[in-house]
Amino acid sequence: MSRQVSLGDREYAAGHMAKKGDTVAQLTLAQRMERLLRTYFQACNDADARAIAACFTPEAAHYFPHHAGRTTKLIGAATIGSKFARVVQEQGVFWTVDQLLSDVDRYSAALEWTRFKAPLIIKGII
């Protein structure tokens, strides 16, 4: 069941993003971009559907890859959050952030990640 992400969810994500002694508003744009991406990956590893969803706009689309070359299109922040949380809980997968580059002028970032699920280790870039 899909739902809209509320302001409360955004505040929930901001709470996950904040480190002791700082606020998201005090960070540079590059730091905020990195914090959001790392928060998203940590929320995925924690199987926290609400925190995952809070990293997306309500109408977001995510293409979830499968090993057989298939892709599932997930629509909506809540759907994305619940899918990733379920995958982590059922399959015991986790991800690391290996490298992150941001271009604040273009408001874009590239991230290299590794996914671990015995016996496979998969590397990717977003």
Q: Write out the two tokens for 17.
A: 């993003």
pTM equals 0.74
Q: Is the CB of residue 12 less than 8 Å from the CB of residue 5?
A: no
At 60, list the tokens.
């977001």
The pLDDT averaged over each successive group of 10 residues in the chain (126 residues) is 39 53 74 93 96 96 80 94 94 93 92 87 77
* Whole-number Å distance between alpha carbons of 53 and 7: 12
| Residue carrying the six token digits 């508003």 | 25
Instruction: Tell me the domain boundaries of the chain.
Output: 7-91
